[in-house]
């Protein structure tokens, strides 16, 4: 195999989370050791997911896995049963292409443990039940909204029919927004609180452990009184961005991470390196899925990071520092992460 699939084969075992590669028939092609706890031999991946996470039925899991051939999908948090113990996890499905321009034939499933709801008391157990109910409602709502959108697109111009369809679409959209607010609230409440300093330190340790290039000098600066946050997805975002910064300095350099609270109550994290900076020709494309200028890149890191940050109402901005490399700024509203 070549391209993205060959890369996945080589890195699965190095990932700190459960991960596997599956084909269009939804059968597992390969997995790392952590994923073995979630797999059942000779059965489709959707069966295994339903067995360990019955929050969705088999067909819904199959729908998510198939949909990921077109675009990355994040589902969090999900209550998963493993060896009789319930854990909360974030599940990510993403497409993998062997070569740019070729049809997607493989999917990547990643399961990241967020913690145990039972360890956080009765309130979290209640939140977990609310979360399961919200997930069950959200799936049919999404399907209904998509169906009505397609009907509006293809129906003839009968104004009376369009009026009723649009009214139904507005009602379903409002209901879906309510459910998503419940999901966001439960996700934030169930995630463990962590300091920015501790989170960045974990990310740097993880990236450095796999780094084989030149010496990278790292400095961190944080404003006083930064609050602890509840946003497990930020670990993946920082891993992607700091890994990119390391790779921009293959022979060594300086990396600076800073954290502060802006006047408009946003957490701002900036990552600055001393590499060559971003190519101005591609700045408007770097967040597109599968766009990459690296010979061995998948083109998913920045796209997935942007999606995770925007789910919490945040943003990522890329800038070039004249003569000093690249600067990435993450902004997240405190109301969504604390």
Q: What pLDDT digit, counting tens, does each position of 51-99 carry? A: 888 777 788 788 888 888 887 887 766 778 776 677 778 888 888 766 5
Q: Please give the model's pTM, rounded to 2 decimal places.
A: 0.49
DSSP string, 219-287: EEEE-TTPPPB--THHHHHHHHHHHHHHHT-TT-EEEEEEEEE-TTSEEEEEEEE-S----GGGTTTTT
What are φ and ψ of residue 214, in 5° steps? -70, 175
Query: In whole numbers, what is the pLDDT of the chain averaged over residues?
Result: 76
Distinct helix (H) and strand (E) counts, the chain: 8, 10
Contact 14, 105 (CB under 8 A): no
Q: Are 241 and 314 in contact (CB under 8 A)?
A: no
Residue 284 burial by Cβ neighbours in a 10 Å radius (0-12, 13-18, 19+): exposed
- Residues paired with 90 in a beta bridge: 112
Closest CA to 51 of 37, 66, 63, 67: 37
Place of tokens 């049809």: 103
Q: Which of 275, 304, 266, 255 lies closest to 95 in space, CA to CA? A: 304
Q: Is the pLDDT of residue 123 over 50?
A: no
Q: How confident is the model at residue 323 (pLDDT cuts 50, 70, 90)?
A: low
- The answer to whether residue 140 scores a pLDDT higher than 80 is no
CA pair distance 276, 283, nearest whole angstrom: 14
Question: Mean pLDDT over residues 280-296, rounded?
Answer: 57
**Segment 204-235, tens digit of pLDDT:** 887 887 788 899 999 999 999 999 988 877 88
CA distance 7 to 257: 29
The predicted structure's pLDDT at residue 103: 65
Token code pair at residue 201: 């330190």
Question: What average pLDDT score do residues 141-151 get?
Answer: 66
């Amino acid at each position: 195999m070549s391209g993205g699939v060959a890369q996945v084969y080589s890195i699965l075992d190095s990932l700190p989370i459960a991960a596997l590669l599956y084909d269009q028939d939804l059968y597992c092609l390969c997995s790392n050791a952590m994923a073995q706890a979630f797999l059942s031999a000779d059965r489709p991946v959707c069966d295994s997911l339903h067995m360990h996470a019955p929050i969705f039925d088999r067909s819904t899991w199959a729908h998510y896995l198939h949909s990921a051939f077109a675009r990355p999908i994040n589902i969090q948090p999900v209550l998963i049963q493993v060896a009789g113990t319930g854990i909360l996890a974030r599940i990510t499905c993403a497409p993998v292409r062997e070569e740019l321009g070729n049809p997607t034939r493989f999917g990547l499933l990643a399961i990241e443990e967020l913690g145990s709801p039972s360890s956080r008391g009765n309130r979290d157990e209640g939140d977990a039940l609310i979360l399961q109910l919200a997930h069950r409602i959200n799936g049919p709502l999404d399907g209904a909204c998509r169906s009505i959108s397609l009907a509006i697109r293809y129906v003839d111009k009968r104004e009376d029919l369009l009026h009723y369809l649009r009214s139904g679409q507005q009602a379903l959209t409002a209901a879906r927004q309510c459910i998503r607010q419940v999901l966001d609230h439960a996700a934030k409440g169930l995630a463990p609180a962590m300091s920015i300093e501790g989170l960045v330190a974990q990310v740097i340790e993880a990236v450095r452990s796999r780094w084989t290039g030149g010496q990278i000098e790292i400095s961190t600066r944080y404003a006083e009184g930064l609050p602890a946050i509840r946003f497990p997805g930020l670990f993946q975002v920082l891993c992607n961005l700091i890994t990119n910064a390391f790779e921009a300095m293959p022979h060594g350099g300086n990396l600076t991470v800073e954290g502060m609270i802006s006047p408009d109550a946003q957490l701002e994290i900036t990552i600055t390196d001393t590499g060559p900076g971003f190519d101005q020709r591609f700045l408007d494309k770097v967040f597109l899925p599968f766009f990459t200028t690296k010979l061995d890149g998948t083109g998913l890191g920045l796209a997935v990071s942007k999606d995770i940050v925007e789910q919490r109402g945040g943003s990522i901005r890329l800038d070039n520092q004249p003569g000093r490399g690249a600067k990435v700024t993450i902004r997240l509203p405190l109301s969504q992460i604390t």
